[in-house]
Each structure stands twice: as C-alpha cells, then as structure tokens.
Structure 1
Amino acid sequence: MTRMTRRHFLRDVGLTGAAATIPWLPAWAQPVSAGIVAPLPTVSGPDIALRVAHRMMMIDGKPSHAIGINGTTPAPLIRLRQGQTARLSVTNDLDEETSIHWHGLLVPFQMDGVPGISFPGIAARSTFTYEFPVIQAGTYWYHSHSGLQEQMGHYGPIVIDPAGVDPIASDREHVIVLSDHSPMHPHRIFQKLKQQGGYFNYQKQTLAGLVSGKDQPLGDRLMWGGMRMDPTDVSDVTGSTYTYLVNGHGPGDNWTALFQPSERVRLRIVNASAMTTFNVRIPGLKLTIVQADGLNVRPVAVDEFQIAVAETYDVIVEPDARAYSLIAEAWDRSGMARATLAPSAGMVAPVPALRKRPLATMKDMGMGGMGDMSGMGHDMPATSAPCPPEHAAMGHCKPAAASGDMLGMSHDGATMSHSMRDFANAPELPRTPTVQTVSPMPMDRTGEPPQGLADIGQEAGYKVLVYRDLVALDRNPDLRAPSRQMRIHLTGNMERYMWAFDGVKLNEVKAPIPFRQGERVRVTLVNDTMMAHPIHLHGHFFELVTGHGDHAPRKHTINVAPGGTATFDLTADAVGDWAFHCHMLYHMHAGMMQVVTVRPAGETGAEA
C-alpha cells in the first residue's frame, strides 16, 4: 500500500499542476478538465452514409472499447426536416450482423430495423439502405436492435425540424445524449446477472446503516428478509461498473454547452442508456418541459424530472451570466453524469454530492392500496381467525401455529414470497418460473413522483415532474372511445433473471399480439415486479390515460412504476409487425419482448 503523504495529496488534488485522478473519490467527484466544448458531429441531407465499426473512445482520460458510427460514439446527430424523404445507407464493418432502429419515427415496418421481425438485419461487410418519408418533427434517436450492441455505443440522436414555424421559441439549442458505459463486455454483464441478480448492487443495507438510522428499522428489515426481497435492489446494473456519460464524455471530461446571457436555451435530452434511468436537474435553474418523446406539450416548469431509458424530453432554460452544472443522477444514486452550461469555455460550477440512495416501499411491491405499512403490526398477537399469507407477510396478523411458515415456499421451482404470489389477483397468468410475484393491489402511479423522488417532490417549493403534468399542445388526432381493452402483466424472476410479458418470454411466444388496422384499444400495463420498466411500442404513438381528455399526452415509451399500473389508448394505424418490449436492454434480452401485428380488417389473423 502506498503511504499517503502531503506531497501525494497535493499532487492528486491538482494543486501542483493539471487535475489528476484521485483514486479514493468516485467519478462524479473527481477533478474535472477545463471543459470539452464539442457539439456532436452532424449529418443531414437527403442522402446520408453511416458506417458501423469498432473503435476506441476516451472516457475521463481512459481508453475504452466501443462501437461507433462514422468514427464517433455517440453516433452522429442526424438532422432531418419534416416532409423530406430520407435515404440512409448503413455499412456494417463489424464481424457480426447489425441493424438500426429509428426510435420513435413513424416509418414503414420494413424500415423499422428489427432483425427477425421487420427485416433480416445487415450482414457483416454489407450495406443496407433505409428509405422512408419523414412525416413528423421533434427529438428522437436511433440504435442497434442486434444483440447487445447498444450497450457498446451503437446509438445516436435524431432531430427533425418542423416544416413550418417551430412553436417552441429558442435562441440556441444543445443536444444532450445521456448513456451508460462499462469496460465489462455486455455479454459478461448479462452472465453476471443470470448468476446473481443483485451482483452489481453495492449499496445493500448494513449493520452500520441500521445503527445510524440511515437504513430501514430492524422490524422492516426482518419482514423484507422473510420475503426474500431486498429494498435496495432498485437498479440491475449500477455505478459499480458503469460510467455515466453526456455526449460520450464522463464526469471528469466536463462536457460544456455554451450560451449567451439572456438567451432561451433549448436542451434536447435523450436517454440512450442501456439500463439507467436518470434524475435530471440544473441547480439554480428552473426547467420548462416543452416536449416529451418528440411531441410538443404545454410548457410545465419543474425543478427536476426523471427520464427513463429510451425517453426524450425537450427543456427550455434561461440562464444568467454564470456557469451551471447539469446533473443526471442515476436513479439508484450510484453515480451521475454531469456537464456544464456556461457563457464561456473553462468555467465550472459546484457539483452536488450524490443523494441518499432510495429504498423500495410497499407500493413498489404492489401493495399501494394498503398505504405505507412500515413498522406496523410487528407485535400483533396471534389470532384464531384466518390469516392470509399476504397479511401475515406484512405483520397484520400471525397465522395459527398449524398453518406453518408460509414464507419462502417454492412453486414451479422458484422460491418466492406468497405475499405477492396470489394468482387470484391475476388468474390469466400462467404458472411459470417467470412469474415470481403478482402485485396484490397495483395502482396507477402516474400522478406521483417517480421512484426515489417521492420525498424530494414533497419539499416546499420544489417541483418534480410527474406524467400527469404532461398535456399535449395539440388536440389528439383520434378521439374515439376504445372498442376493447387489454391487460398485460410485466413479470419477472429476479433470482433467475428472467423477464417477460404475461409470464411468457419471447422465445416461448406462440403467436403475436393481434390488432385490426384502425381499431382503438385501451391497454393497461400491470407491473408485477419491484423494478420500473420503460415499455416501448414500435411504429405507434399512444395517448396516456391521465385525465386530460382530447389533449392526452402522446408517447412511444412509458415507464411503469414498480408495483404500479399505466394505461394508454392506442390507435393501431400502422399495418405490419412491430416490436413491443421493455427498453431495459438486459430485460429485453432476457425475454421481456413480444411482437404486435396489425392487419387490415377482415384479413386472416387480424381479429383479436
């Protein structure tokens, strides 16, 4: 071990020269560079050439292997105009198949870019040309839908300028691509998750946390332990292996966006990460949300918002003549991406410390209708009255001695808690190992701050965005009432790292989910797991059922809170086969994906 001396300390903190790495500090707290002022490379025009290849990228001064497009990671910003026809020739210089999916773009299904569903993929050492009309405007992105290439850097932003006057007025704009990067190969990450679901969770509760009062009380911890559940298990892959990036740069790189005082600055923020939901804020600035998933919304001012994997938000800020830190904190508080907004290069602003990591609650277990039961009923006497397992698990009562211990019993080869394995709440679900838990009392959580922000969102004068704050700027194009309804359960088995829709993994699906062209369907997603899932439907937008009538917000991705529900109305107006999946990359890879097929009315297989 190297003995720490005053000279070592001065050298490490940069007082004797340029900033250097301090080994005992996390990445977000390291000394930063003078700032990298480098807008993303941009390609535009009717004909665009893209080349996919391996490359080395520098992150916080360290080389790391990646996949890039045209020699950059993220891939170049593609700038299009509404009304044009886009021709994008993609050359694959990899030794394996690749693809590009145009996330959020309404394109013919043959151009959607999902191998095995809409096209055969782009073979190694070959070129494929995508061609489609550009019928929309807004902020979107593109990424590989082949294997786990997205995790390695195969992603980039898209900006489509409106054909007419943009209703969002701004003097300057910056594209902000958030992502996560690991030196560990993605297949190795997946292998670790299969071996142990909580492998990357270094923030488990400790005895010291119990004594200090920072973690759960002993009674609550015993209850969670009895149910074989970990309330710190918020994120599968964490800052223990990830560096969180802004436009391909780590926290120490200090990527910098310039502005002039008094300007209205538009930030087009894309979450292109594989597994990380970010909580975004700029201390000292209000953020006015003006667009969600590429479509304009009525302006809403907030102090912080959560952006799930695959979502985009456009934000207006009006900074003064000083530097600001843009903070994108991982939702489990295991790290952060950061950048600087400043009037000139070389300026920096204070970077706040990571906040206390969140703990899952009873609501996250699907017991939202019961309220917060923390600390309740642990000393309740046994009763001769029947004591259902789900009530016993939460300490509401004690089962008679003859009933035995109902916790930890095994069904279908999977050890689980009976408190969430009551199939009476979901009789339509198959009894498979992929259904480890069933939420006893799921509830719509779109009106409350997202996981980890509930306490912060209750602070006086501090506003956290919730989905119900979003109101479409324009009237919805289809105001018909739904003609039928569907419930789809989001299911999983964390111990075996299996994820699925309705307990059926993609490789077990017998037939796609059928829709008739033009039909109106109300879909309710029920999250039977303790993790949020950003669910994305290709080829369509849908209207969130959040009480805004004909101005319901329209999105292509909805983050379903753990133990919660989310409902949307869908007009199946795009004929073809479309991917429907969780956008957590390893969840999708583990099976949480199906195919939606839209067929003309009357055609065989079109009837639901």
Structure 2
Amino acid sequence: MDLSRRQLLKGSLISASALALPQLTMALGSGAKYDYHITAEPGLFDIVPGGTTPGLGFNSQFPAPVIRCRQGQEVAIKFTNKLDEPTTIHWHGLRIPIEMDGVPFLSQPPIQPGESFIYRFTPPDAGTFWYHPHMNSLVQLGKGLTGVIIVEETEALPFDADVVIGLKDWRLNQDGSFLPLSIPRNAARGGTLGNVKTINGMIKPVIEVPAGGAIRARFANMDNSRTYGLSFKDYPAVVLAEDGNAIEAPYPLVKRKTGSGMRLDVGFIAPSNVGDEVIVYDQKGRRGYYEICRFRCIEGSKKPATKIPKLPVNPIKAPDLSKAKKINLVFEWAGALSPTKKDGSVDHVFWTINKRAWEGMMGGKIPAPIATLELGKSYIINLHNATPHHHPIHLHGHTFTVIKSNKRPITPYHTDTILLAKNERAQIAFVADNPGRWMFHCHVVEHFKTGLMGYITVA
C-alpha cells in the first residue's frame, strides 16, 4: 500500500489483540518546516502481566511510532527532548549527512532537556532501518528509546501485508520494575541479557496476515545485547534484504543470526486457509526452537499470491578492489582487567580496537580516529575478532560490502553491520563517499560502553 506522510502511519497489518503499533501523524500547519514531530519522554509500559514498567519512550510510548518516508525524498523530523538529561537520535543504517547522524559532540551538540532539533535528510536507500539515542545508551535504549524507520521504495511493491517486527528484551522484576541493566561480569562477556523477550512490546504475540497473501516481514533487532537465530523452521520463506539492503538473489531462510542493531526482511506466502499459522523461532543450536511470535491467517481480499515480489537493489557504489587501500582492525578482549580511578572506583574496560579502548568524548575533547580515509577512495578493511564472543560491528554513514570470511562462505552482500563470530576474520569493502567523522563500533551496548568503539574520518 502506498502510504503518504499525510496519512496515519501504520507499522503493519496486526492482530485484533491490541497489537497495533503506534501511529504517527504528519505535523501539519501553514509554514511547517518539518514532516513529523516526535519526543523522548518517560512513559508507563505494559510489558509483563500485572506489572507496569516506568520506561522511556518516543512519544512516551513503546513500541515507538514507526516513521515512514520515501527513497529520494527529503524528510524533516522535529525532535524534542522531554527527558531530564541530554540525548540525540541516531538514524541507524541511513547514509545521510554527518550533521544529521546524531552522535553527540562528533556530529552535533547534545540536545538538552527542553530543547528541540530538526533532523532533515534525503535517504538514498530504501529499506528497514531504526532510530535510537547515542547518549547514555545503556539506560536510554535499555528502558525503551528505540523505534523503526522505514524508507519506502520509489515505486510501491505488490505485497499483501508489510509487517514490522521489533525485537527487544527487557530486564524486569515481576512487578515490571527494572533489574540492573548491566552486570560487569556479563559486560566482559557476551552482554547482560534480558529476562523478558518481546515482539513489538508483547510476549509471543499473534500477528494477523491475509490468507494466501505475499507477506513482507521486517525484523529489527533493537536489543542491547541479544543475538537471535531467526528461523521459520520448516515453513518456506526467503531472505529479501539484510540490514536494509535488498539482495540481488533472495535465498531460503533456514537460520539467520541477527545481532543487536541488525535487520532482516523476510518474504513468504501465507497459508491459504483461514486460521492456519506460521511460527517464528529463535533457534539455538540445531534442535532448540523457541517461539517468539506467530502469524495467523485471516480472510484475504485478493486471490492467493503465486510469487514473492523482489526488492530493487539500492544504489551502492562498487569499490575498486584492485586499487583499494587495506586497513587492519583487531577487536580484542581485555578480560577482567579493570583499571581503578583516582577516587578508587572501578573504570570497567573490557574491549579494545587495535589495542586501544574508547575513552569517551566531550565538547573540546575528541579522541583521535582509528583511521583516516580519503574522500572518494576505495578501502578494504580486514576485521579480526580476536575475542571469544560475537560482535555486531556497525559503521555509521556508509554501506559496505562483505566479501570474505574464514568462518563461512560469503556471497558478497551490502550491509551496515556485520556479526563477527569468535576468532572470525572478515573482509569488508566500500567507497568512502560520505565526508565526516563516523562511529565504528560493536552494537552490544555494554561492549561499546566498555571500550569497543572508535570512529573513522572521511575527508
């Protein structure tokens, strides 16, 4: 369906059991200089049965409003900070100007309580992306400040349903109050996992889809730590896009590991009988299938679909591998080493990039980049995960091509986040065509908060 920004924005065709994602209306009025207006503010969420969670939400809601815009068309989003601390919004996966990237001090001053900022950009790529703060990330993301932004293709595609599936864990007591969001012992390993898994803010929801319809399911992992093994088990489905980038040759979905910050667009034809269901699993190992949600067929208004529409590939510049300069980045584990500050408190540092831990930044104090790239040149970056844990490594402002790995066969594909297995060596390549200072970090929040973050300069 071709959705205008002047219409109510709906994340998907959802079950009748109150699963509808929040709606977002265009900020109308003569002389309006923005298309949407969103806020960050405290809210009360119904996550666990019988309990209330005092979280943080965009428009004080969870799930957050799904923002929809269109490839090649400018969008402006007025953001107002109603928290009691500074914040920003990062538009994860979007190739936009550095001034709009939402990293405090590196790309913009922090947005203070009560202040507003207008994010204005023209997305060159269609796909599934997401948005979140880049300040006090452990708390602000952990308590609910995450949302999906969808960039529609220039031409509407003939899917019968377009479903947003936001994956997020919560660390909650039975009454809905928060448990500690981070445990240092876990931060030094795979990350502190949540104890309540949700899809669009609900536990094992049922999502209605038209019987026999061609379905586009947009999975977005907005969790602080967890990696999902997304699987439909025995039901036929294909991967249409990885991390917002359409695949030239869609392939069958068996199990796809999806780390924090990563997205997966899956296409399937729903069963033709009303009441039939398709279950989505988080697969662990070969035989461990754990349901996270299910699709239930309702009466459709069209004839059963015979094929799944193919997505157009985004306009990503191909790097010149024969002339590309090579850069080596080694991600290492500092283990239990915890330097002590002058006041005796522990300064947890567990991770490094090229033997250097991220030391943080503030106005007037920006650390040196981990690499400086020449604008317009091609680069190959050799990534070495010399740790015993997985890391979803994310680059801001660019889309790269994964070309090689020592752990798995690679058919080159475009992405902004690569999930590196323990001891994996992988090669990525891209054209440094977006000037600015761009964060390059693990998207397990505890990992980048304890060292596994840096930035590259493109100039």
Matched, 1:273 2:131: no
- 1:104–1:515 CA distance, 2 compared to 1 (3 A): same
TM-score (norm 1): 0.61
Q: Would you say how many aligned residue pairs link Structure 1 and Structure 2?
A: 395
Matched, 1:249 2:199: no
Q: Name the aligned partner's letter for residue 511 of structure 1.
A: A
Partner of 2:317: 477
Of 591, 596, 604, 2:456 maps to 596
Post-superposition CA distance 1:10-29 (Å, at most 9, x none): xxxxxxxxxxxxxxxxxxxx
Using the TM superposition, give the Cα deviation of residue 344 of structure 1 relative to its aligned residue in structure 2, in angstroms: 4.3
Rounded to whole Å, the distance in 1 between the matches of 2:289 and 2:85 is 32
Of 305, 315, 336, 1:495 maps to 336
Of 528, 543, 546, 2:386 maps to 528
Using the TM superposition, give the Cα deviation of residue 493 of structure 1 relative to its aligned residue in structure 2, in angstroms: 2.4
| Aligned 1:113-262 pairs, distance under 5 A | 113-147=102-136, 148=138, 149-166=140-157, 169-183=158-172, 188-190=180-182, 192-193=183-184, 196-197=185-186, 235-238=190-193, 241-251=194-204, 255-262=205-212
Rounded to whole Å, the distance in 1 between the matches of 2:192 and 2:16 is 28
Post-superposition CA distance 1:280-329 (Å, at most 9, x none): 12244122001111111021012322111111111011221202322235
Using the TM superposition, give the Cα deviation of residue 236 of structure 1 relative to its aligned residue in structure 2, in angstroms: 2.8
Rounded to whole Å, the distance in 1 between the matches of 2:56 and 2:289 is 23
Using the TM superposition, give the Cα deviation of residue 505 of structure 1 relative to its aligned residue in structure 2, in angstroms: 1.0
Post-superposition CA distance 1:517-568 (Å, at most 9, x none): 0111110110110001100000000111149xxx831110001110111110
Q: Name the aligned partner's letter for residue 301 of structure 1.
A: P
Partner of 1:313: 264
Rounded to whole Å, the distance in 2 between the matches of 1:337 and 1:112 is 35
Rounded to whole Å, the distance in 1 between the matches of 2:86 and 2:315 is 42
Moved more, 134-143 or 501-510: 501-510
Rounded to whole Å, the distance in 2 between the matches of 1:335 and 1:93 is 41
- 1:498–1:267 CA distance, 2 compared to 1 (3 A): same
Contact 1:580/1:593 (8 A) holds in 2: yes
* Structure of greater Rg: 1
Q: Name the aligned partner's letter for residue 40 of structure 1.
A: L
Rounded to whole Å, the distance in 2 between the matches of 1:332 and 1:58 is 34
- 1:271–1:501 CA distance, 2 compared to 1 (3 A): same
Rounded to whole Å, the distance in 1 between the matches of 2:46 and 2:412 is 43
Rounded to whole Å, the distance in 1 between the matches of 2:313 and 2:453 is 31
Q: Name the aligned partner's letter for residue 539 of structure 1.
A: G
Partner of 1:511: 368
- 1:73–1:39 CA distance, 2 compared to 1 (3 A): same
SS of the counterpart of 1:588? helix
Of 220, 233, 238, 1:288 maps to 238
Matched, 1:107 2:96: yes
Matched, 1:564 2:440: no
Using the TM superposition, give the Cα deviation of residue 86 of structure 1 relative to its aligned residue in structure 2, in angstroms: 1.1
Rounded to whole Å, the distance in 2 between the matches of 1:154 and 1:596 is 26
Using the TM superposition, give the Cα deviation of residue 122 of structure 1 relative to its aligned residue in structure 2, in angstroms: 0.9
Q: Name the aligned partner's letter for residue 531 of structure 1.
A: H
Rounded to whole Å, the distance in 1 between the matches of 2:288 and 2:333 is 23
TM-score (norm 2): 0.79
Using the TM superposition, give the Cα deviation of residue 38 of structure 1 relative to its aligned residue in structure 2, in angstroms: 2.0
Rounded to whole Å, the distance in 2 between the matches of 1:504 and 1:76 is 38
Using the TM superposition, give the Cα deviation of residue 41 of structure 1 relative to its aligned residue in structure 2, in angstroms: 1.8
Partner of 2:398: 540
Of 43, 46, 65, 1:55 maps to 43
Rounded to whole Å, the distance in 2 between the matches of 1:163 and 1:533 is 33
Rounded to whole Å, the distance in 2 between the matches of 1:502 and 1:333 is 37
Q: Name the aligned partner's letter for residue 356 of structure 2.
A: V
Contact 1:267/1:315 (8 A) holds in 2: yes
Partner of 1:574: 434
SS of the counterpart of 1:42? coil
Answer 1 or 2: which has greater strand percent. Answer: 2
Q: Name the aligned partner's letter for residue 237 of structure 1.
A: T
SS of the counterpart of 1:586? helix
SS of the counterpart of 2:447? helix
SS of the counterpart of 2:181? helix
Using the TM superposition, give the Cα deviation of residue 133 of structure 1 relative to its aligned residue in structure 2, in angstroms: 1.6
Rounded to whole Å, the distance in 2 between the matches of 1:317 and 1:187 is 38
Gaps of 5+ in 1: 1-33, 200-232, 346-470, 600-608
- 1:489–1:134 CA distance, 2 compared to 1 (3 A): same
Root-mean-square deviation (CA, aligned residues, Å) is: 2.9
Q: Name the aligned partner's letter for residue 171 of structure 1.
A: D
Contact 2:327/2:381 (8 A) holds in 1: yes
Answer 1 or 2: which has greater helix percent. Answer: 1
Using the TM superposition, give the Cα deviation of residue 265 of structure 1 relative to its aligned residue in structure 2, in angstroms: 0.8
Using the TM superposition, give the Cα deviation of residue 494 of structure 1 relative to its aligned residue in structure 2, in angstroms: 3.1
Post-superposition CA distance 1:326-376 (Å, at most 9, x none): 22357899995621210249xxxxxxxxxxxxxxxxxxxxxxxxxxxxxxx
- 1:186–1:525 CA distance, 2 compared to 1 (3 A): farther
SS of the counterpart of 2:235? coil
Using the TM superposition, give the Cα deviation of residue 88 of structure 1 relative to its aligned residue in structure 2, in angstroms: 0.7
Q: Name the aligned partner's letter for residue 583 of structure 1.
A: H
Post-superposition CA distance 1:445-479 (Å, at most 9, x none): xxxxxxxxxxxxxxxxxxxxxxxxxx995786324
Rounded to whole Å, the distance in 1 between the matches of 2:210 and 2:268 is 12
SS of the counterpart of 1:567? strand
Matched, 1:304 2:226: no
Using the TM superposition, give the Cα deviation of residue 243 of structure 1 relative to its aligned residue in structure 2, in angstroms: 0.9
